[in-house]
Amino acid sequence: MSAAAAFADEWEAIPWSERVAIMRKAADLMEERTPELAALVSYEVGKSRLEALGGVAEAVEFLRYYSAQMERHDGFVIELGSLGPDEKNVSVLRPYGVWAVISPFNFPMALSAGPCIGA
């Protein structure tokens, strides 16, 4: 947690498009390593190999889904209405910061991946 907190400001400074590229690369790496990740999930929580494979695949899809949403909405930088010509209001989605997820045993990768990626 302390290492993540130390990097939080630097992560926020990275343009959203580069963060999306990092998430896509992570999805690709997880997909390539699905058998090993599924084996770890099976070992850790006792899921069958087939169920663990599905959990890893779902985590990969979360990465890709959030990446696509960021691209679809141009990083969620949205101009809002204004009351006059000298006023500009913008809503900007920023990284949430450091936090943790205690995932349940039944879908440990998928149910921790979604909120972590979204943050």
Per-residue pLDDT of the chain (119 residues; tens, 9 = 90+): 888 888 888 988 999 999 999 999 999 999 999 999 999 999 999 999 999 999 999 999 999 999 999 999 888 888 898 888 899 998 888 877 788 888 887 888 888 888 888 77
Q: What are phi and psi of 14, to 5 degrees?
A: -70, 130
Tokens of 13: 């400074």
Look up the domain containing 96 and give its range: 2-118
pLDDT of residue 68: 95
Q: Strand pairing of 89-92 and 77-80?
A: antiparallel
Alpha carbons 20 and 64: distance in angstroms, whole number: 9
pLDDT of residue 49: 93
pLDDT of residue 30: 97
From the number of C-beta atoms within 10 Å of its C-beta (0-12, 13-18, 19+), residue 88 rates as exposed
DSSP state of 105: S
Domain total for the chain? 1
What CATH number is attached to the domain comprising 77? 3.40.605.10
